[in-house]
Amino acid sequence: MFRMVVGHSADVDAGDALGEALEQCARELGDDVPRGGLLFSTHEADPAGLIAAVLAVYPGLELIGSTSAAEMSSALGFQEGSVMLALFASDSIDITAGLGSGLHTDPAGAARDAVGEALGKTGREAKLCITVPAVGADPLPLFEALRRELGDGVVVLGGGSSATIGDPDRARQFCNDRIVGDGVPVLIFSGALSYSFGVETGWRPVGKRAKVTLASGNVVQEIDGRPALEFYERYLGAGAAVAPANPLAVFEEGSEDFYLRVAASHDAATGSILVRGGLPQDATVQLTVAMADEIFDGAKAAVQKALKTFPSGSDPGAALIVSCVIRKLVLGTRTGHEIEIARTELGGAMPICGFYSFGEIAPMESGVTRLHHEAMVAVLLGAA
């Protein structure tokens, strides 16, 4: 048996919102006892109070979560400034949480602490890791460290903890009763779990491909031997600023598969651009464009990929959705259509929880885990 129930409230008082969410979860759970949970809340709320209230009702619950730029669920659709709680109950799957801190200075140590804590609570084989870490200049060392600690067969999915675009440092990560700003919380599913995922964007590459010829960390100085800003000006016009609506497609070596990178800002004097999440030197890049309907097509494709690849012989019983805060910015008042697409594709009975992140986490076709920008990641879960 495997179940997920969702409680979601947009009450202006975060404490009252959590109370409503807990009541909703209790009604759906009945006599089942939850073993793990995910909590997402507006960055304006006091996470310590929310967490304490959850653990008072469900002592021993393995809980992770984060602040978020917006929340979405099958219970309430798309909301900004809300509180959402998802609880998992199972008699065949262990759900265990762990936390590593100091992520920005020691990603390997943070991954080791988080995974070690979570795996130390189960004797079953780990199958899936959900994480909502702080997002630094280059997340690849974290992903490599998680792979080493978890083993090659355990997939890592999730999204970067978020707050507001203008103040990303307000993002916080939770694990049980601990709250940090530079951490990696993990929720590991071990035992008889079936799962699948899909990741898509809707953005399409245009123009010629180019090579990153000089980069350091998250600063890109040159593309094709010229100031990086000139690459944008070639398509957007002289004096144009970098635009979130036109991210760079970054191609995997020897493949047509790509992930997106958003240039957050630029330096007009040097022509360099700042790319959160990093952009490796020698990477092949291409400018991208998308209309709103194409972005929605990407959301639909992500869910359909997850449905198509779910293991035969079992049925999904829950869905996790992670979308990008830049998608929310670009879509504006139409953002809520993303969760409606998911509900339509998955059917009205499927419980769904999700949030808008500072970067989405999922493997590429090559198997390498990447931080994506402007993507949607859809994850389906069920008992094997």
pLDDT surpasses 70 at 265: yes
What pLDDT is attached to residue 32?
97
How many Cβ atoms are within 10 Å of 268's Cβ, its own excluded?
10
Q: What is the mean pLDDT of residues 171-190?
A: 97
The more confident residue out of 235 and 324 is 324
Q: Look up residue 347 and give its two tokens.
A: 């059917």
Task: Give the range among 45-59, 93-107, 263-277 with minimum mean pLDDT.
Answer: 263-277
For residue 53, count CB atoms less than 10 angstroms from its CB and return exposed for 0-12, middle for 13-18, buried for 19 or more.
Answer: middle
pLDDT of residue 166: 65
Three-state secondary structure string covering the chain = CEEEEEEEECCCCHHHHHHHHHHHHHHHHCCCCCCEEEEEEECCCCHHHHHHHHHHHCCCCEEEEEEECCEEECCCEEECCCEEEEEEEECCEEEEEEEECCCCCCHHHHHHHHHHHHHCCCCCCEEEEEECCCCCCCCHHHHHHHHHHHCCCCEEEEECCCCECCEHHHCCEEECCEEECCCEEEEEEEECEEEEEEEECCCEECCCCEEEEEEECCEEEEECCEEHHHHHHHHHCCCCCCCCCCCEEEECCCCCCEEEECEEEEECCCCEEEECCCCCCCCEEEEEECCHHHHHHHHHHHHHHHHHCCCCCCCCCEEEEEEEHHHHHHHHHHCCHHHHHHHHHHCCCCCEEEEEECCEEEECCCCCEEEECCCEEEEEEEEC
Looking at residue 370, what is its pLDDT?
96
What rounded mean pLDDT belongs to the chain? 95
- pLDDT tens digit string along 271-321? 999 998 888 889 999 999 999 999 999 999 999 999 999 999 999 999 999
pLDDT value of position 112: 98
Contacts with 152 (C-beta within 8 Å, 6 or more apart), sequence order: none
pLDDT for the residue numbered 299: 98
User: In the chain, pLDDT over 90 holds for what percent of residues?
Assistant: 88
Dmax of the chain from CA atoms?
64
Label residue 252 by pLDDT band (50, 70, 90): confident
pLDDT number for residue 163? 87
Q: What percentage of the chain has pLDDT greater than the value 70? A: 100
Rg of the chain over all Cα atoms, to the nearest angstrom: 20
pLDDT digits (tens, 9 = 90+) for 61-98: 999 999 999 999 999 999 999 999 999 999 999 999 99
Adjacent-strand bridge partners of 362: 370
* pLDDT score at 354: 97
Degrees to nearest 5, angle at CA 44 with 41 and 49: 65
* HSE, side-chain direction, 13 A CA sphere, residue 249: 23
Whole-angstrom distance, CA of residue 22 vs CA of residue 11: 13
Residue-wise pLDDT tens digits, 124-180: 999 999 999 998 778 999 999 999 999 989 999 999 999 877 677 789 999 999 999
- Residues 283, 228: contact at Cβ < 8 Å? no
pTM over cut 0.95 = yes
AA letter at 153: G
Confidence of residue 59 (pLDDT cuts 50, 70, 90): very high
Q: Which two tokens stand for residue 323?
A: 């979308």
Tokens of 246: 């036109």
- pLDDT at residue 168, rounded to an integer: 72
Per-residue pLDDT tens digits for 216-230: 888 999 999 999 999
Distance between CA atoms of 201 and 322, rounded to whole angstroms?
12
